[in-house]
Amino acid sequence: MVSPAPKIVISGYYGFRNSGDEAVLKSILTALDEAGKQAGITVEPIVLSSDPAWTMNMYGVRAVNRMRLKEVRAAIRESTGVISGGGSLLQDATSPKSIPYYLAILKLAQWAGKPTFVYAQGIGPVQRRWFYPLIKSVFNRCAYISVRDEQSADLLATMGVHRSSVQVVPDPVMGLPLPPHAESGAADMPSAKPPVVGISVRYWDKEKRELGAIADGLRKLSAERTVHLRFLPFHLPDDVEASRYVLEQLGDLSTSGSSRISMAQEITDPQQMLLEVSRCDLMIGMRLHSLIYAASREVPLIGISYDPKINHFLSRIGSTPVGSSDTLSGDKLATEAATLLDNREAWRSSRAAAIQALRQEARLPARQIIEYLSRKG
């Protein structure tokens, strides 16, 4: 049997106040705890974080500084195994430093003789092909690999990672529960109040074309009907600034009707953000996890694509993007939003089975990891 309290190091983009990545961490912690209890095991996580004190306070788990090699190596040495994931860790679109960092964590664990696990990652884009053999070398020594879409599995196979050893699972955030004793709002019950349209935007296009188109679409939607536009910044402070840019472009809605605008303030707890999304009647999102939050709570959604990961997720629930960061039309956004607001129940009923399956499958990696540790213990 495995020891009573296996210590599992969890590596990812944690401690940066990014709601999506924090939701990934919370989802992994929750799934490991549930799987451990089912197996009669108490799991002791050790999170590699950019802000260990904040992470410990937020989740009640041990954390060490992800950039202090001595602390990281010590945590790995005392651990039972190391998890890398989830999110888009192995990609070089935002920085060429990400792939070497996350591979190095896994390699340190492998040198220390610890089993390594890749947890529901989205792989790519990997534009620098000289990363391919490095990823292949590390991944082919992992005890378990799961990715969040078929495209990631195919990319790993192109690199030489054994395809048969890669399991395709949903993003772990599909399994994130609401906060204890919380109640969903608009999405679950009829209301006389104006429908709430959640909006998650980010900076991407240098010319801010998509943000201008979003503002145009929201202005036209508000002119046609009374709505409550609720901006939900997922990454602080960048998404707050992007939201304010859209607000500036949107202008004063008071001249065109009784629609209102608000913005959620400084939400860093992923479950609280999930609660915010659950209270929306419609979610318009650029951030991937804004769309995953909405799908998990069966809130109708509109995705705006700036990265293939948006398209990949939407395809899993039978949807397609309304446009991309460089082709979005305000008219099309307004039309799609109005259509979904008028047909919310039809949207939910047509996707309920697929969403329920994704919720259940999202916990598969945790069960596989606990099962592996139980066998090896």
Digit-coded pLDDT (tens) for 54-85: 999 999 999 999 999 999 999 999 999 999 99
How far is residue 239's CA from residue 6's CA, in Å, rounded to a whole number?
Answer: 37
Regarding whether 226 and 133 lie in a shared domain, the answer is no
For residue 334, being part of any structural domain is answered with: yes
pLDDT band for position 24 (50/70/90)? very high
Regarding whether 83 and 120 lie in a shared domain, the answer is yes
Which helix (H) or strand (E) segment holds residue 239: the answer is: helix 238-250
Give the domain range for residue 221.
196-358
Regarding whether 368 and 328 lie in a shared domain, the answer is no
What are the φ/ψ torsions at residue 27 (nearest 5 degrees)? -65, -40
For residue 345, being part of any structural domain is answered with: yes
Regarding whether 273 and 206 lie in a shared domain, the answer is yes
For residue 178, being part of any structural domain is answered with: no
How far is residue 280's CA from residue 211's CA, in Å, rounded to a whole number?
Answer: 21
How far is residue 156's CA from residue 171's CA, in Å, rounded to a whole number?
Answer: 17
Regarding whether 209 and 78 lie in a shared domain, the answer is no
For residue 185, being part of any structural domain is answered with: no
For residue 68, which amino acid is it? R
Domain count, the chain: 2
How far is residue 16's CA from residue 159's CA, in Å, rounded to a whole number?
Answer: 30
For residue 182, being part of any structural domain is answered with: no
Q: What are the pLDDT digits (tens) for 217-271?
A: 999 999 999 999 999 999 989 999 999 999 999 987 765 568 899 999 989 899 9
| Residue 365: alpha-carbon gap to chain centroid | 16
Regarding whether 216 and 156 lie in a shared domain, the answer is no
Q: Copy the structure tokens of residue 118.
A: 């890749």
Tally DSSP H helices, then E strands, for the chain.
Answer: 14, 13
| Whole-prediction pTM | 0.90
For residue 310, being part of any structural domain is answered with: yes
Regarding whether 369 and 311 lie in a shared domain, the answer is no
**What value does the mean pLDDT of the chain take?**
93
Q: How far is CA 319 from CA 295, 304, 309, 350, in A?
A: 11, 11, 13, 11
CA quadruple 57, 59, 65, 69: dihedral positive or negative?
Answer: positive
CATH number of the structural domain spanning residue 127? 3.40.50.2000
Regarding whether 317 and 372 lie in a shared domain, the answer is no
Regarding whether 269 and 146 lie in a shared domain, the answer is no
pLDDT band for position 6 (50/70/90)? very high
Contact 328, 304 (CB under 8 A): yes
pLDDT of residue 2: 45
Length of the chain: 377
For the cut 80, the answer to whether the pLDDT of residue 186 exceeds it is no
How far is residue 312's CA from residue 377's CA, in Å, rounded to a whole number?
Answer: 37
Regarding whether 252 and 122 lie in a shared domain, the answer is no
How far is residue 181's CA from residue 229's CA, in Å, rounded to a whole number?
Answer: 26
Place of tokens 């099962």: 371
Regarding whether 215 and 119 lie in a shared domain, the answer is no
Q: Copy the structure tokens of residue 149.
A: 């879409």
For residue 44, being part of any structural domain is answered with: yes
Regarding whether 236 and 275 lie in a shared domain, the answer is yes
